């Protein structure tokens, strides 16, 4: 059975190949369906072409961690934190900081 949501998103992409939301949605759809290489391709395209689209960094970082590349994930989280600061998106910054701290082994509980 074909993924009709993905088919529709790919059609949207044909109409507007530079829409970061559509690229993000496609990456997420591939990630959800377990098509990791395709997900990576779209997340990386977003980071390269739309570095201010801060939602990308968290999900790309988590996917990198899931596939065993913790060091690259840490770097992606750092890039995302810089992008979030630049946009003054404190919610995204907080989420990225938490993911970064966890990946870097800096998450600890207060006594």
pLDDT greater at residue 1 or residue 12: 12
Q: State what percent of residues in the chain have pLDDT above 90.
A: 89
Q: What radius of gyration, in Å, describes the C-alpha atoms of the chain?
A: 15
Sequence-distant (6+) residues with CB within 8 A of 71 are: none
Statement: residue 1 has pLDDT above 60:
no
**C-alpha span between 111 and 104 (Å, rounded):** 20
pLDDT of residue 3: 79
Which pLDDT band, with edges at 50, 70 and 90, does 55 fall under? very high
SS (H, E, C) 21-59: HHHHHHHHHHHHCCCHHHHHHHHHHHHHHCCCCCHHHHH
Q: Give me the domains of the chain, ranges plus CATH numbers.
A: 4-103 (1.25.40.10)
């Amino acid at each position: 059975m074909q993924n009709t949501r993905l088919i529709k998103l790919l059609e949207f992409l044909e109409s507007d190949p530079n829409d970061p939301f559509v690229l993000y949605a496609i990456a997420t759809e591939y990630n959800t369906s377990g098509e990791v290489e395709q997900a990576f391709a779209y997340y990386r395209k977003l980071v390269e072409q739309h570095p201010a689209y801060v939602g990308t960094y968290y999900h790309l970082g988590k996917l990198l961690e899931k596939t065993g590349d913790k060091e690259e994930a840490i770097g992606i989280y750092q890039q995302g934190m810089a992008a979030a600061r630049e946009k003054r998106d404190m919610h995204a910054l907080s989420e990225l900081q938490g993911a970064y701290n966890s990946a870097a082994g800096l998450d600890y509980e207060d006594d």
